[in-house]
Amino acid sequence: MVLSFNNTKTRSKWNGFTGKWYLQLFQNKDIMNALYTTLIIAFLSALIATLIGTAAALGIQAMRTKARTLLLGVTNIPMLNADIVTGISLMLLFIACRFTLGFSTILLAHITFNIPYVILSVMPKLKQTSKRTYEAALDLGASPSYAFRKVVLPDIMPGIFSGFLLAFTMSLDDFVITHFTKGPGIDTLSTKIYSEVRKGIKPEMYALSTIMFLTVLILLFLVNMTPDDPKVKKAAVHAPAGKFRKFSRFFFHRFAPAAIMLVIVIGGFVYGSSSGNMSGEKVIVYNWGDYIDPEIITMFEDETGIDVVYEEYETNEIMYPKVQSGAIAYDVVCPSDYMVQRMIENDLLAEINYENVPNLKYIDDIYMEMSKQYDPENKYSVPYLWGTVGILYNKKMVDEPVDSWNILWDEKYTDSILMQDSVRDAFAVALKSLGYSLNSTDLDELEAAKKLLIKQKPLVQAYVIDQVRDKMIGNEAALGVIYSGEALYCQKENPDLEYVIPKEGSNLWIDALVIPKNAQNKKNAEAFINYLCRPDIAKMNFDYITYSIPNSAGRELIEDESMRESNIAFPDISQLKNCETFNFLGDENEIIYNQLWREIKSK
């Protein structure tokens, strides 16, 4: 809560009071869309599940004992299953049925897991309902539908309402099933918060958490205003209703629920119209978290009239299965070098028509030559960003020269070392420290690297991805394995930090823009890639994310000379002599690496 009022993005220092993060929160289109999506899906899924669940409960109640017991047992399966099992099962079902993952698949998934909760809530009320009352109404001449509405429905209404509220709450709270069934450009609050936390928590998330906490606190306060003493309750019931009491009863029992429903419905229309107002032209982009200046997307949409549907991932290993499955037809993806090679070998990429990418001329020839290591004919990819992996250390916490990977095994820095939570990055550190290639497939070398990483594990504070940035800025660790672009940002925030490429060598990486073979908007994808190759756009990207750009003309536009000539962003070629790019090692070796990594993480 305190951090939501801190006038800086880092949590490590107080820089004055501000309310700007709350303003930016409500101006953040992505978060607001996630909020509307969450409410709409929760309301619609709860409503539909309540109708289906109530009808199902009535049918089950009318069955014979054995059939009823069997069906109730089947109904309980979704509640007994782990969410991840339900989520993956539904995703595979949608893919098998050729459904495009998106809003509709999330809604169907939520309805599916909500129905059992409604049945569970309605069944006890049905058991308490007397059949004789219903039959008496029929004997008195009432039609079956009229008798049901006037006799049965009022008796089971508390159960129906409880089921609706339970379904609504479960839908609001769900993350795992939504994560597996959502498509590009669709986020609920839970998935949005998850993706933001994986990238490093932004101040807007602190503001959102504060609002959610205060909302729940106020609701709890209002609920607990009801007196507990039975005598007081009885007196309150029989007391003459004053104007204030009448108003409060009207407000909480009628106006407030109606207002909430109205807000959800209006929000749904606004959300639907904003989505529906998209022109027919769009491009679906799948990129790393926080890997583009958001202003660039807005500028591209304004200049071209092409809408950008943007989704983010955390690792290549998360991205690859989603592209491979074909459940979502992405138009532009940004894999790393070795993953580009893997996608080419598995025939997942389309050739780029470079006539539609004239700005490719601004990419320096040296990077086009380097990219031939994973794209031999430069037919499938365009270099986007590049850099190195090295050690970021705090000069005040490390009292010796840092020039080797071996310092990451120094017991003096126990619980003050951060490692990358990535199979290839972690093994690269161990393999290089042993003097081996980071592309090794030798089982003895890999076993030695595994033992070295297991030996290091008690010294490691955490295995992280983007969180290394905040931890190093906040002086929470002395040493961290980090990407050069992150190191440059950290150094700007904390001058006590220094970055080094170890003498044994490291990973020289290139992230490239590619077009999947099943892309539905190939020309728009090429237009987007061409736009990112424009020198002024490349410079904007560097200013925002501080990762090295392969765009030589864009580099010349960087105003800050210290940044333009930075040894971290643009190291001298002599520093890279022992560096290697990752190669795709084949599916069999990929399995071996993953198995060894699981053994390390399980220790």
d(CA 505, CA 484): 14
Q: Which of the four CATH numbers 3.40.50.2300, 3.30.420.40, 3.40.190.10, 3.40.720.10 does domain 388-508+589-602 have?
A: 3.40.190.10
Of the listed ranges 14-23, 73-82, 581-590, the one predicted with least confidence: 14-23
pLDDT confidence of residue 223:
58
pLDDT of amino acid 231: 54
Class of domain 282-385+510-560: alpha beta
> How far apart (Å, rounded) are the C-alpha atoms in residues 504 and 430?
11
Q: In DSSP terms, which residues pair with 418 in a beta bridge?
A: 462, 480
pLDDT band for position 79 (cuts 50, 70, 90): confident
Give yes or no for a contact between 456 and 187, defined as CB atoms under 8 angstroms apart: no
Phi first, then psi: give them for residue 549, nearest 5 degrees. Answer: -105, 140
Comparison of pLDDT for 582 and 20, the residue scoring more: 582
Of 195-204, 240-249, 282-291, 407-416, the range with the highest mean pLDDT is 407-416
Exposed (0-12), middle (13-18) or buried (19+): which is 219, by Cβ within 10 Å?
Answer: exposed
CA-CA distances (angstroms) from residue 297 to 280, 282, 284?
17, 12, 12
- In this structure, the number of other CB atoms found within 10 A of the CB of residue 431 comes to 26
Listed in sequence order, the residues at least 6 apart from 232 whose beta carbon sits closer than 8 Å to its beta carbon are none
CATH superfamily, domain at 28-202:
MetI-like (1.10.3720.10)
CA distances from 252 to 42, 82, 247, 262 (A): 21, 36, 9, 15
Least confident range of 13-22, 561-570, 578-587: 13-22
pLDDT in tens, 374-399: 999 999 999 999 999 999 999 999 98
Please check whether residue 543 is in contact with residue 375, taking contact to mean a CB–CB distance below 8 angstroms: no
pLDDT of residue 273: 47
DSSP-assigned beta bridge partners for residue 483: 389
- Residue 19: predicted pLDDT: 78
- CA-based angle 459:464:468, to the nearest 5? 90
pLDDT tens digits along 10-62:
665 666 777 777 887 787 777 888 888 888 999 999 999 999 999 998 888 88
Q: At what angle do helices 535-545 and 294-304 cross, to 10 degrees?
A: 150
Q: Is the pLDDT of residue 104 over 70?
A: yes
264 band by pLDDT with thresholds 50, 70 and 90: low
The pLDDT of residue 276 is 44
H or E element at residue 427? helix 423-433
Q: CA 502 to CA 403: how far, in whole Å?
A: 5
- What is the rounded distance in angstroms from the CA atom of residue 69 to the CA atom of residue 364? 70
